[in-house]
């Protein structure tokens, strides 16, 4: 849940202010090279948010289907690995095309 919070917070603090300026003025007001960086952060944060929701759904599914084996299956190291995989996949999907 903290990872989902961080991705949504980054959308609100990093992605939305330039998008608001873009909507208000009808054109890109900031430096031109910042546009590519902003677009990458936009894709990364939104992808991380969606992937975090998928990981939370998978976690809840495992908890419901096998509650007795859940503690053995979902260790803190595995949870951390899932969070790192989520952010890595989101970063690769957004920054590699640039």
Tens digit of pLDDT for each residue in 49-89?
999 999 999 999 999 999 889 988 889 999 999 999 999 99
pLDDT exceeds cutoff 90 at 38: no
For 15, list phi and psi in degrees, rounded to 5. -90, -45
pLDDT reported for residue 11: 92
Q: What is the mean pLDDT of residues 18-31?
A: 86
- Measured CA to CA, the distance from residue 17 to residue 34 in angstroms comes to 13
- Tell whether pTM > 0.75: yes
Ordered by start, the domain boundaries in the chain are 1-96
| Closest to 7 in 3D by CA, of 94, 96, 73 | 94
Stronger pLDDT, 11 or 27, i.e. the higher one: 11
């Amino acid at each position: 849940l903290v990872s989902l919070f961080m991705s949504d917070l980054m959308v609100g603090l990093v992605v939305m202010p330039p998008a608001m300026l873009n909507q208000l003025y009808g054109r890109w007001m900031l430096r031109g090279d910042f546009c590519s960086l902003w677009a990458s952060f936009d894709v990364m944060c939104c992808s991380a948010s969606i992937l975090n929701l998928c990981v939370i759904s998978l976690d809840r599914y495992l908890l419901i289907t096998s509650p007795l084996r859940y503690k053995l299956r979902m260790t803190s190291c595995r949870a951390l690995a899932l969070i790192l995989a989520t952010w890595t996949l989101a970063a690769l999907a957004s920054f590699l095309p640039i």
